[in-house]
Amino acid sequence: MIAVYLLALVSTAMACSCCPPSPLKVKLCAADSVSHVKVISRRNKNDKFALSDVIYEVEHVRVFKKPRSLPRLPSEVYTPSPRECGLEMEVGEEYLLAGDI
């Protein structure tokens, strides 16, 4: 089963208060990039001063939208930890990610 999530809509947690989600079409149209990805690996960043605590390595199954200035989208997704309203994804699962680069 393919789990499909939008980056901006996934960030919910009990320990924080996140922005309410906008309609999906609005988010997808406003994003710099939209891609169907498969999560290959997840690792925690060990730098305590880093802005991003979690790094996901992803494979782009299908790119729907990307900036023309980039030959391809990056294979790493940097996000705060889930407790800080960051994105939480499972290795081996597939997602629809939209965001700005």
CA distance 78 to 56: 7
Question: What's this model's pTM, rounded to 2 decimal places?
Answer: 0.71
Q: What would the pLDDT profile of 33-62 be if each residue is shown by its tens digit? A: 999 999 999 998 876 665 668 999 999 999
The domain ranges of the chain are: 7-99
In whole numbers, what is the pLDDT of the chain averaged over residues? 81
Residues facing residue 35 across a β-bridge: 63, 97
**CA atoms within 13 Å, Cβ hemisphere of 100:** 2
Residues facing residue 5 across a β-bridge: none
- Show binding-site residues: 16
- Show binding-site residues for Zn(2+): 16
Inter-residue contact 77 to 87 (CB < 8 Å)? yes
CATH of domain 7-99: 2.40.50.120
Length of the chain in terms of residues written: 101
Amino acid letter for position 92: G
